[in-house]
Amino acid sequence: MAVAPTPRKRHALDLFSGLPRHYDRMGALLSFGQDPRWRRALVASLPLGPGNRVLDVATGTGLVAAALVSRFGCSVVGLDQSDEMLAAARARLAAQPELAERVELVRGEAERLPFGDGEFDALTFSYLLRYVDDPAATMRELARVVKPGGSVASLEFGVPPSPPLRALWCAYTRAGLPLVGRLVSREWEEVGRFLGPSICAFAARFPEPELRLLWEDAGIRVAELRRMSFGAGVLIRGERDGVA
């Protein structure tokens, strides 16, 4: 039975519906070129091989899904709630048929994954938890579909711990992002206005101890928490509890 989107989810869908055309370039621009580097680090952190099956949640335009196949030769299911983002991912893969045959794109929600328990060897997600109503329940659902001993890795924006850098970062995310976005489109200006408060609010709600606890309470042992670019990017990798 279909579930009506909550206000938070509806806002996320509306916010990103007009963005896929410039999404990859703007992600790199707004992060001063760091977003592509963070995604490469996310992929490189995983111990995968050609026989593995990976779920990439919030796949967006398929950047991580394509990188996983390119690096490991594994098979990937890319899941996203946005039809527009999935269309952009299909366009990306259409230009790379050697990757397309190993990537399946599925429309779905992180809170209600359309997969069985322990169906995947590994799972990745990027910039997801700020957009869900219940991060703890979502983490439990993500863990559910990973095999015992399987890897889970995520990428999220952070806030630099150094006070001077934190002040600069907060000023940029709150004032600079909307200004840069305005140069591209009204939609990107709206995203710019949303991102700063969203990033800071999530970082305040889940500082490092609470973030680790969020994963561990879902049954994922945190093996690595890496702050990149002075803390502006946060990579977390863990292992699903249990014996493979």
pLDDT tier at 62, thresholds 50, 70, 90: very high
Supply φ then ψ for residue 44, to 5 degrees. Answer: -65, -20
Cβ-defined contacts of 16-19 (< 8 Å, 24+):
16/82, 16/84, 16/85, 16/191, 17/82, 17/84, 18/84, 18/185, 18/187, 19/84, 19/187, 19/188, 19/191
How far apart are the C-alpha atoms of 78 and 83, rounded to whole Å?
Answer: 12
* Predicted local distance difference test score (pLDDT) of residue 215: 98
Q: What is the mean pLDDT of residues 163-169?
A: 91
* Predicted local distance difference test score (pLDDT) of residue 1: 46
Q: What is the mean pLDDT of residues 19-28?
A: 74
How far apart are the C-alpha atoms of 152 and 15, rounded to whole Å?
Answer: 27
Q: What is the mean pLDDT of residues 119-126?
A: 98
Question: Which residues in the chain belong to E strands, given as ranges?
Answer: 53-57, 75-80, 103-107, 120-126, 146-157, 220-228, 233-240
Query: pLDDT by residue (tens digit) across 72-101?
Result: 999 999 999 999 999 999 999 999 999 999
* Predicted local distance difference test score (pLDDT) of residue 30: 78
CB count within 10 Å of CB 133 equals 11
* Predicted local distance difference test score (pLDDT) of residue 10: 74
Helices 23-30 and 186-205, interaxial angle, to 10°? 60
* Predicted local distance difference test score (pLDDT) of residue 20: 65
How far apart are the C-alpha atoms of 64 and 88, rounded to whole Å?
Answer: 13
Q: Check whether 6 has a pLDDT greater than 90.
A: no
Q: What is the mean pLDDT of residues 25-33?
A: 81
Contact status, residue 180 vs residue 31, Cβ threshold 8 Å: no
pLDDT tier at 4, thresholds 50, 70, 90: low
The letter for the amino acid at 55 is L
Residue whose tokens read 């030769």: 73
C-alpha R_g of the chain: 17
Burial track 189-228 (b if 16+ CB lie within 10 A, e otherwise) = bbbbbbbbebbbebbeebeeeebbebbeebbbebeeeeeb
Domain range list for the chain: 7-240
Q: Could you tell me which residues are beta bridge partners of residue 54? A: 76, 122
Q: What is the topology classification, in CATH, of domain 7-240?
A: Rossmann fold (3.40.50)
Supply φ then ψ for residue 114, to 5 degrees. Answer: -85, 50
* Predicted local distance difference test score (pLDDT) of residue 243: 67
